[in-house]
Amino acid sequence: MKSKNSISSIISTASTIILISGLGLWLFLGGGMAFNPGPLTAHAAENKPEIQGYQNHAEFESQCNLCHMPLKNDQAELCLQCHQNIFKEISEQTGVHSKILEVRACYVCHPDHKGRDFSPALSGAEKFDHSKTRFVLIHHQIDFDATPLTCDKCHLGIRRSVFAFDPTACTECHNEKEPEFITSHIQSYGNQCLGCHEGSDKFAEFQHSEENFALTGRHAAINCEDCHLDVNKQPRFKNLSKNCTGCHTEPAVHAGNFKDQSCDTCHTTTGWKPALIDGVSFEHTANTGFTLDKHAQSFDKTAITCAGCHGSDIHNKTTKLCFECHQLMSPSHMDKHIVQFGEDCSKCHDGVDRYKNFDHANFFLIDGAHLGLDCVKCHGEDINLAVYRGLGKTCVTCHSEPEIHIGFFGVACENCHSTSAWQPAFLKLHSFPLDHGGSEQACTTCHPNNYASYTCYSCHDHEQSNIEALHDRANISRDELDNCTSCHRTGLHQDWITP
């Protein structure tokens, strides 16, 4: 006979089995509702078709195994079995879900068990990174009135889990702030804003280089409106010229001279200057030695063009055309000038010394005997050796210093001589009185041989012993006796004590 303990053990085991079986049957029949953390959402997108026969999650709340199959597969697989549209986006890498890195963690963006009115779709919108779309929100964080921009400003049916973009949202919002501009903009480009704009003030997927106009050099630094606003400050994009003249007026200096060539033949976007001639950097002054500073306009105030000096061939360096132009203005001068100096004007002229209203006195006053001289007398007979710029202005440039005072008076001839004639001279600087003896003396009285030396004994008796004895008393040495003016500066006997 079994003991009481054995019977009790059998009864306890049976009870446990019955309890567990009953609990399992209850869980099975209840679909796991015993562990339900809360009611599922009854929210459904408007006009959304049924999925697997259900309109919303609340309709299969008692069938936990539709979303939860622990140890068999991950929850994302069960989600995607129902939401085939999302599965297609992920598989084909299209749509919003193809942009999400942790896309299989559905519960992170779309939780549930938060009540019948909870919207998992709207919850996902709050966590959604909008930069994953074609339109970023860099400049759409706040509205014009400084209030935050909410999703329903641009999307229809947000509260009904519909995220369709409202095509009128852009124009309605911006029209309140910029009605004039928006009206003009729509007339020019239509109201499909996302066709050009992507939220960061750049055209959606737009590459300027694909329009056969790459923005290089100085063009890369300018603002869009510098080219895309017309004179009335209205935008212009369609049919905009791609030629330089679309924005830049052709310079008058070569207007009409390069009809068969575009600007980029000689110029680059780095800068208008230096230009390129035959592919080599060209700047008129540096490359030709002739500046155009004073050749912008002709005598009649019309622009001087390249063709005006070079004819039909820009490589033509003849300066015959200089004469043809200047001869019209001053024929008598040019006729004489050509006879004297020839037609190669660039031999003497560099564009700076144009000699328009030229006054020689500004450089060297021509008067007296100089007035009748031809230019070649000073500037050289040989046109190939003629000197104009840098020509010396002292007399010795043209006149040799006379032997009579070489090394004594220097080359400042104007101190004694005038342009009227070399003689008579007019001594302007002379420390000794020229009227010594009561009347003006001739130069040869004191300078009988040359102007480098003088003597007082042409008038004064010279008794050597008497002179020496007289000056010994004044402590004047024998070597100083012939330099009379060092003590007698005025020629008077008593002035010797004057220092």
According to the per-residue pLDDT averaged within each range, which of 116-120, 211-215, 229-233 is highest?
Answer: 116-120
Which pTM does this prediction carry? Answer: 0.35
Taking CA atoms, 379 is separated from 195, 368, 420, 488, in Å, by: 75, 18, 20, 48
- Domain assignment present for residue 57? The answer is yes
Token pair for 343 = 């037609």
Q: What pLDDT sits at residue 25?
A: 55
For the cut 50, the answer to whether the pLDDT of residue 293 exceeds it is: yes
Range of the domain at 352: 253-358
Q: Has residue 238 been placed in a domain?
A: no
Tell me, yes or no, whether 21 and 41 share the same domain: no
Residue 398 lies in a domain: no
pLDDT at 499 over 50: no
Domain contains 144: no
Contact 194, 164 (CB under 8 A): no
Q: What is the pLDDT of residue 384?
A: 65
Are 114 and 40 contained in the same domain?
yes
pLDDT at 160: 60
For residues 354 and 362, which has the higher predicted lDDT (pLDDT)?
Answer: 362
Q: pLDDT tens digits, residue range 300-320?
A: 888 777 777 877 777 777 666
Does pLDDT of 498 surpass 60?
no
pLDDT band for position 108 (cuts 50, 70, 90): confident
Overall average pLDDT of the 225-230 stretch:
77
Please check the confidence at residue 79 and state whether its pLDDT lies above 60.
Answer: yes
- Rounded-to-integer distance, Cα 323 and Cα 345, Å: 8
Same domain, 41 and 113: yes
Q: What percent of the chain has pLDDT over 90?
A: 1
Over range 277-294, report the average pLDDT: 82
| pLDDT attached to residue 438 | 78
Q: What are phi and psi of 178, to 5 degrees?
A: -130, 60
Q: Quick check: 57 and 40 in contact, CB under 8 A? A: yes
Using the 3D structure, point to which of 128, 153, 183 is the last residue of a domain. Answer: 128
Check if the beta carbon of residue 191 is closer than 8 Å to that of residue 171: yes
* Mean pLDDT on 125-148: 83
187's tokens: 């007339």
Same domain, 74 and 112: yes
Mean pLDDT, the chain, integer: 79
Would you state the structure tokens that stand for residue 81, as one six-digit string? 């079995």
pLDDT at 6 over 70: no
Residues 10 and 41 in one domain: no
Question: What is the pLDDT averaged over residues 198-217?
Answer: 76
Would you state the torsion angle of the CA atoms of residues 297, 301, 303, 307, taken in this order, to the nearest 10 degrees?
A: -80
Q: Tell me the average pLDDT across 226-248.
A: 77
Residue 33 is predicted with a pLDDT of 54
308 lies in the same domain as 328:
yes
- For position 183, what pLDDT does the model report? 87
Which range (275-284, 329-338, 473-482, 489-498) has the least confidence? 489-498
Mean pLDDT of 343-369: 77
Q: Which amino acid is at 490?
A: T
The label of the residue with tokens 């980029």 reads 264
The pLDDT assigned to 344 comes to: 78
pLDDT digits (tens, 9 = 90+) for 383-432: 667 777 778 888 888 888 887 777 777 778 887 888 888 888 777 667 78
State pLDDT tens for residues 445-483.
Answer: 888 877 767 888 888 877 888 888 888 888 888 888 888
Mean predicted confidence (pLDDT) in 294-302? 81
Q: Of 317, 336, 358, which residue sits at a domain end?
A: 358
- What does DSSP assign to residue 264? G
CA distances from 288 to 12, 129, 264, 294, 311 (A): 119, 63, 22, 15, 16
| 8 and 54 in a common domain | no
Q: What is the Cα–Cα distance from 166 to 156, expressed in whole angstroms? A: 6
Whether residue 91 is found in the same domain as residue 39: yes
Which of 75, 108, 128 terminates a domain? The answer is: 128
Look at residue 203 and tell me if it is in a domain.
no
Q: What is the pLDDT of residue 12?
A: 64
Q: Quick one: 274 and 313 in the same domain?
A: yes
* Secondary structure of residue 169 in the 3-state scheme: helix
Shared domain check, 50 and 11: no
Give the lowest-confidence range in 203-212, 272-281, 282-291, 342-351.
203-212
Question: Biggest alpha carbon distance in the chain?
Answer: 190
How many domains would you assign to the chain?
3
Percentage above 70 pLDDT, the chain: 83
Same domain, yes or no: 275 and 287: yes
Rounded to the nearest 5°, which phi and psi values hold at 148? -60, 140
174: left (phi over 0), alpha (psi -120 to 50) or beta: alpha
Quick one: pLDDT at residue 70?
Answer: 72
Q: What is the pLDDT of residues 10-38, one digit of tens each?
A: 666 666 666 666 555 555 555 555 567 88
Pick from 125, 118, 122: nearest CA to 37: 118
By DSSP bridging, strand 155-156 and strand 164-165 are antiparallel
The dihedrals phi and psi of 323, each to the nearest 5 degrees, come to -60, -40
In angstroms, rounded to a whole number, what is the distance separating the alpha carbons of residues 460 and 482?
12
- Whether residue 356 is predicted with pLDDT greater than 60 in this model: the reply is no
Which token pair is 24? 């399992």
Which long-range CB contacts under 8 A does 164-172 form with residues at least 24 apart? 165/194, 167/191, 167/192, 170/194, 170/197
- Is the domain of 39 the same as that of 117? yes
CB neighbours (10 Å) of residue 344? Answer: 15
**pLDDT tops 80 at residue 159:** no
The per-residue pLDDT for 106 is 86
Does residue 451 form part of some domain? no
Strand, coil or helix: 434: coil
The continuous run of DSSP H or E covering 164 comes out as strand 164-165
Domain membership flag for residue 122: yes
Q: Which of 380, 383, 375, 378 shows the shortest CA–CA distance to 355? A: 375
Residues in the chain: 499
In a domain, residue 375? The reply is no
pLDDT of residue 1: 47
Residue located via tokens 């009579």: 404
417: left (phi over 0), alpha (psi -120 to 50) or beta: beta
